[in-house]
Structure 1
Amino acid sequence: MQAEKGNQVKTRLFRVSEENFDAILDEAAAIIRRGGTVAFPTETVYGLGADGLNPDAVRKIFEAKERPPGNPLSLLVHSREDLGKIAKNIPEKAFRLMDAFWPGP
């Protein structure tokens, strides 16, 4: 996980186990709430996570990945209610897909 302090990036490595899972999850959430970024394993690759509604946090992801501005990022959305905060005019077909596939694996 990373937390920025001034212009320095502070990197911390956590070994996750059943015993410390909740504490580490809480720490990762706190870093994200402060506008920081976290790296985490997925089924296939490591992902970078940040608050997708925080422009500074999104900028950090683009910079870390050296990603051009025209190449969009994926934004994970927790619920229909949260989707309404970031999107308008959502077609009914999209809601049917949400009902069929949310939550995912």
Structure 2
Amino acid sequence: MAMLTGSDVELAAGIVRRGGVIAYPTETVYGVGGLATDVDAIRRVYQLKGRPLSQPLSIAVSSMEMLESVANVECRDFILRFLPGPVTVILKKKKVLPDILTAGSKYVGIRYPDHPMALSLISKTGPIVSTSANLHGEKDPVAADEVKLPVDYVLDGGRCKYGAPSTIVDLHEYAIVRKGVMYDEVRRYMFGCGYATEE
């Protein structure tokens, strides 16, 4: 069956709620995901990407309330400064998130994207997996027609604003673990607050 592409957020959300896996736009790159609490959907994301189960996946939320439902919040000032936005924060996960998602780690990467279509989608589904919609190690897709994974639906939100991955910040260790979009702003803020910088 041909992969479906369109801009119907409600259709995409229904697929996710039923355990499906979709690709969706963010301000950084297109993501692929299913429900962050559904072990079968998470396993399928790993399989579609060819990603080792030993490498954790991040998730995406659409509000602070949703973020607080899945993780223990640290450095609230940092979160309020940079989210929603192109930054992934690592926080201690709550038990609602299965261990397969984080490869057994107690911590989870969380995106709160600054993209209206992504936020609308997630508000209808709850937390979803957030990892780039490409085969593991290949180029990140920045438009719907660049998504080649055989997902159930590609939610077309046009080209991504930044077209580059998010900066990842470990808010438990106070360290930048990946340079990405807004790296300079994040680094300046962390220095200004007396936090550590890169690992």
Q: Cα distance 1:79–1:45, how it changes in 2: closer, same or farther (>3 A)?
A: closer
Residue number among 5, 9, 12 corresponding to 1:28 in the alignment: 12
Matches within 5 A, 1:1-105: 11-16=2-7, 24-42=8-26, 45-88=29-72, 90-91=73-74, 93=75, 95-104=76-85, 105=114
- Considering Cα pairs closer than 8 Å and 6+ residues apart, tell me whether 1 or 2 has the greater RCO: 2
Q: Which residue of 2 aligns with 1:21?
A: none
For structure 1, the 5+ residue unaligned runs are 1-9, 17-23
Q: Deviations over 1:7-35 (max 9, x none)?
A: xxx5542244xxxxxxx110000000001
| Higher relative strand content | 2
Per-residue Cα deviation, 1:27-61 (whole angstroms, up to 9, x for no partner): 00000000100123556654212111111111110
Using a 3 Å threshold, how does the CA distance of structure 1 residues 42 and 100 change in structure 2: closer, same or farther?
closer
For the structure 1 residues 40 and 80, does the alpha-carbon distance in structure 2 shift closer, same or farther, using more than 3 Å as the test? closer
CA distance in 1, matches of 2:62, 2:25: 19
Q: Percent identity?
A: 40
CA distance 1:38–1:55, change in 2 (3 Å): same
C-alpha separation in 1, matches of 2:16 and 2:80: 28
In structure 1, distance between residues paired with 2:79 and 2:38: 24
Q: How many residues align?
A: 86
For the aligned residue pairs, the C-alpha RMSD in angstroms reads 2.1
Unaligned runs of 5+ in 2: 86-113, 115-199
Letter in 2 for 1:97: F
Q: TM-score scaled by structure 1?
A: 0.67
Q: Secondary structure at the match of 2:5?
A: coil
CA apart distance, 1:78: 2.0
Structure-2 separation of matches of 1:74 and 1:49: 10
